Amino acid sequence: MKAVVYHTYGSPDVLKIEEVEKPVPKDNELLVRVYATTVTAADSRMRKADPFLVRLINGLTRPKKLTILGMEFAGEIEAVGRDVTVFKKGDRVFGTTTGLDSGAYAEYICIPEKWATGVVAAKPANMNYEKSAAGIVGGLTALHYLRSGSIQSGQKVLIYGASGSVGTYAVQLARYYGADVTAVCGTANLELVKSLGADHVIDYTKEDFTKSGETYDIVFETVGKSSLSGGIRSLGEKGYYLATVHMSLLPIVRGLWTSMTSDRKVIGGVAKERTEDLVFLRELIEAGKIKPVIDRCYPLESIVEAHRYVDEGHKKGNVVITLDHDDND
């Protein structure tokens, strides 16, 4: 089968399409024929080995444990192991393969029916494979953080990076929960975030939300580009600062100190992916409450170009990779 493989860290040019052995499902696994996957920021970081921690877990000088990227997928089950009880051949599914269990940049992938580092569920009935694959990680991350911030109806929520994969879902989910949503993004994406339900929009190139004097119950930083100190100052009493990206030592210490010494809480870390949350997102999609945002679609053969575009840092929502199957509907 065809797969996108990388044998060295670096630019998008390290990605090569090669013939590799088709996987065989173990007793507890599903063999999924992949119709669509995506290019996430995490895929890009793994490819570049940035941060350096990637090298510590995947090989110091070259990738060893993980050589096929791809964290999100949608496809059809071609075979199941003998211990599989929920799914059967022919089921259309979507899900995630995270960390060193990635591998969706391939025509086929084997995944456990139940596992600790990813999730799988029946795909939305009203979405094709491309839309089903778009932003699963973003949706699960947004849901995890908003719930961690105890989101409630009537609260004021600010979402920084509202046009990205996490941000586009965060805007919609915050509106679903009844919050008053302020979305922060660049000039080119103002209309997009308005269309997703944002009550107020701020163009970060023209205005610094931390200097407006407004306070919020939740400040959700989805891209790691705003001021941590400013975001914390913008919280009201008992407010939550949610950060998906502030991972260096100083922000971690500042967040812990804030949480320990004030009534404001700073929450970071890795979002936990749960099957029940993926099913919840699917139900919202099928009900028309939320929708994935796709910036561009590329065929698998253009994976280098797709990664190069994501590396520019200006994608809106999600970048999808399609695999050439005639029955992709």
Whether 206 maps to a domain, the answer reads yes
Check if the beta carbon of residue 314 is closer than 8 Å to that of residue 192: no
| pLDDT at residue number 188 | 95
The pLDDT score that the predictor gives to residue 6 is 97
pLDDT at 262: 85
Please indicate, yes or no, if residue 145 is contained in any of the structural domains. yes
pLDDT band at 248 (very low <50, low <70, confident <90, very high): low
- Report the alpha-carbon distance of residue 130 to residue 19 in Å, rounded: 23
For residue range 305-329, list pLDDT tens digits in order.
999 999 999 899 999 999 986 554 4
| Residue 285 within a domain | no
Tell me, what's the pLDDT at 74?
A: 98
CATH of the domain at 201: 3.40.50.720
> 7 and 130 share a domain?
yes
Does residue 274 form part of some domain?
no
| C-alpha to C-alpha distance for 177 and 284, rounded to whole angstroms | 12
Range 9-23 average pLDDT? 97
Instruction: Return all residues near 4 (Cβ < 8 A) that are at least 6 apart.
Output: 15, 16, 17, 18, 68, 69, 70, 105, 106, 300, 303
109 and 225 co-located in one domain = no
Residue 38 is which amino acid? T
156-160 and 108-112 strand pairing = unpaired
Domain extent at residue 183 = 137-267
Mean pLDDT, all residues of the chain: 93
% of the chain beyond a pLDDT of 90? 81
Whether 45 is in a domain gets the answer yes
pLDDT of residue 182: 98
Q: Do 142 and 205 fall into the same domain?
A: yes
pLDDT for residue 144: 96
Same domain, 145 and 129: no
Give yes or no: residues 74 and 152 share one domain: no
Give residue 99's pLDDT. Answer: 66
Residues 84 and 142 grouped into a single domain? no
Contacts of 185 (CB under 8 A, 6+ apart): 161, 162, 163, 167, 192, 193, 201, 202, 203, 204
Q: Residue 247: is its pLDDT beyond 70?
A: no
Same domain? For 217 and 236 the reply is: yes
Domains of the chain: total: 2
Q: Which residues contact 165 (CB under 8 A, 6 or more apart)?
A: 40, 41, 135, 137, 138, 293, 315, 317, 318
The tens digit of pLDDT for each residue in 141-168 reads 999 999 999 999 999 999 999 999 999 9
Per-residue pLDDT reduced to its tens digit, 19-34: 999 999 999 999 999 9
Place 232 in a pLDDT band, splitting at 50, 70 and 90. very high
Residue with tokens 């797709």: 306
Q: Could you tell me the pLDDT band of residue 51, with boundaries at 50, 70 and 90? A: confident
Residues 200 and 225 in one domain: yes
- Do 124 and 10 share a structural domain? yes
Same domain assignment for residues 13 and 108: yes
pLDDT tens per residue across span 106-129 = 999 999 988 777 899 999 999 999
Residues 128 and 145 in one domain: no
Pair 186, 233 in one domain: yes
Q: Judge whether 164 lies within some domain.
A: yes
Q: Assess whether pLDDT exceeds 70 at residue 50.
A: yes
Residues 12 and 311: beta-carbon distance below 8 Å: yes
With respect to residue 278, please indicate whether it lies within any of the assigned structural domains. no
- In this prediction, residue 26 carries a pLDDT of 93
How much is the pLDDT for 246?
56
- Domain of 86: which CATH number? 3.90.180.10
Q: d(Cα 288, Cα 220) in Å, to the nearest integer? A: 24
Q: Determine, yes or no, domain membership for 273.
A: no
Contact 3, 17 (CB under 8 A): yes
